[in-house]
């Protein structure tokens, strides 16, 4: 009993070494980048007007460009934040 | 519990205190020989006790002054790391602000351009529709191309849990 208590003592003393008082947290991404890209718009199947088709297609182009911006900035954000995160040593 | 006691009592004392304890121990140990030399009946026992106490104080003082020195070192390391993390967090917040601003600006530009494009389509509607009638098959093909291949959001299942 005495022996096991003696063995237990260094373990109890060493538990203090397990807790680190400093914690680094990876930052949160801006909320604008967390919005998922919507589906592409579809043309009304009953229309025969080219102007309506062009309208929907150009809206989809715009949608693609918005998503392209978001993806580009996601990459940029991650690259910068990773660099900053790894710089703390 | 023991760690807590050590952290909140012993390690809060300044490093010089432990040097003082070790010094006191060394002095007691040194003078114990003189006490033992006094020609009284109890002097030998008293001198021996002082010798042991002095030795224990010397050892304990040296051990804890070393511990206090290491603690000081770690405290300075922790402070240094906390400063670095604070600087990194500040930089990171700056990057977030810049990215957020640029994303909002660029998306606004895309939306503004879209308004102009839609206006131009409305303006030229008669010319565009005058000589062209789109076949329903063409619209069907176009819509099929626009339909998402995978419906819904992207999921990674249980891996992320």
Q: pLDDT digits over B111-140, tens only?
A: 999 999 999 999 999 999 998 889 999 999
Res. A16 pLDDT band, cuts 50 70 90:
very low
With beta carbons under 8 A apart, name residues in chain A contacting B82.
Answer: 22
Q: Which residue has the tokens 């409305």?
A: B122
Please identify among residues 49-108 of chain B the ones whose CB lies closer than 8 Å to any CB of chain A.
Answer: 78, 81-82, 84-85, 88-89, 91-93, 95-96, 99-100, 102-104, 106-107
Q: Inspect the interface and report whether the beta carbons of A59 and B114 lie closer than 8 Å.
A: yes
Report, as an integer, the average pLDDT of A3-31: 67
Residue A20 CA to residue B124 CA, distance in Å, equals 68
Is A49 close to B129, i.e. CB distance below 8 A? yes
What residues pair up with A49 in beta bridges, in sequence order? B133
The lowest-confidence range among A7-21, A47-61, B32-46 is A7-21
Residue B117: Cβ-neighbour burial (10 angstroms; 0-12, 13-18, 19+): middle
pLDDT band of A23, cuts 50, 70, 90: confident
The total number of residues shown for chain B amounts to: 161
Residue B69: the pLDDT is 83
Task: Say yes or no: B7 contacts chain A, CB-CB below 8 A.
Answer: yes
Residue B2 in this model has a pLDDT that exceeds 50: yes
- Give the pLDDT band of residue B160 (cuts 50, 70, 90): low
Mutation target vs B (from A59, A63, A80, A86; most B CBs, 10 A cutoff): A80
What predicted TM-score, i.e. pTM, was given to this entire model?
0.68
Per the model's pLDDT, the better-predicted residue between B85 and B10 turns out to be: B85
Q: Centre a 10 Å sphere on the Cβ of residue A56 and count the other Cβ atoms it contains.
A: 19
User: B158 vs B31, which has greater pLDDT?
Assistant: B31
Distance from CA of A63 to the nearest CA of B (A): 9
Please report which helix (H) or strand (E) contains residue B7, including its range: helix B2-8
Percentage of chain A surpassing pLDDT 70? 76
Neighbours of B73 (CB within 10 A): 10
Contacts with A87 (C-beta within 8 Å, 6 or more apart), sequence order = B88
């Amino acid at each position: 009993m005495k022996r096991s208590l003696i063995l237990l003592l260094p373990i109890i003393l060493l538990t203090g070494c397990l807790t680190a008082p400093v914690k680094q947290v990876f930052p949160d991404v801006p909320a604008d980048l967390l919005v998922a890209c919507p589906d592409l718009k579809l043309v009304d199947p009953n229309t025969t007007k080219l102007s309506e088709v062009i309208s929907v297609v150009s809206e989809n182009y715009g949608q693609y460009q918005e998503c392209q911006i978001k993806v580009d900035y996601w990459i940029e954000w991650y690259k910068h934040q990773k660099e900053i995160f790894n710089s703390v040593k | 519990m023991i760690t807590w006691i050590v952290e909140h009592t012993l390690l809060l004392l300044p490093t010089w205190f432990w040097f003082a304890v070790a010094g006191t121990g060394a002095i007691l140990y040194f003078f114990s020989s003189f006490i033992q030399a006094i020609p009284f009946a109890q002097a030998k026992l008293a001198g021996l006790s002082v010798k042991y106490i002095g030795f224990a104080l010397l050892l304990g003082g040296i051990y804890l002054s070393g511990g206090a020195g290491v603690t000081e070192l770690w405290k300075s390391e922790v402070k240094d790391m906390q400063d670095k993390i604070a600087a990194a967090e500040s930089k990171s917040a700056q990057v977030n602000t810049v990215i957020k601003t640029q994303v909002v600006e660029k998306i606004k530009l895309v939306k503004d351009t879209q308004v102009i494009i839609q206006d131009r389509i409305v303006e030229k509607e008669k010319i565009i529709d005058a000589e062209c009638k789109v076949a329903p098959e063409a619209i069907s093909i176009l819509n099929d191309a626009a339909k998402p291949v995978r419906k819904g959001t992207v999921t990674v299942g249980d891996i992320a849990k």
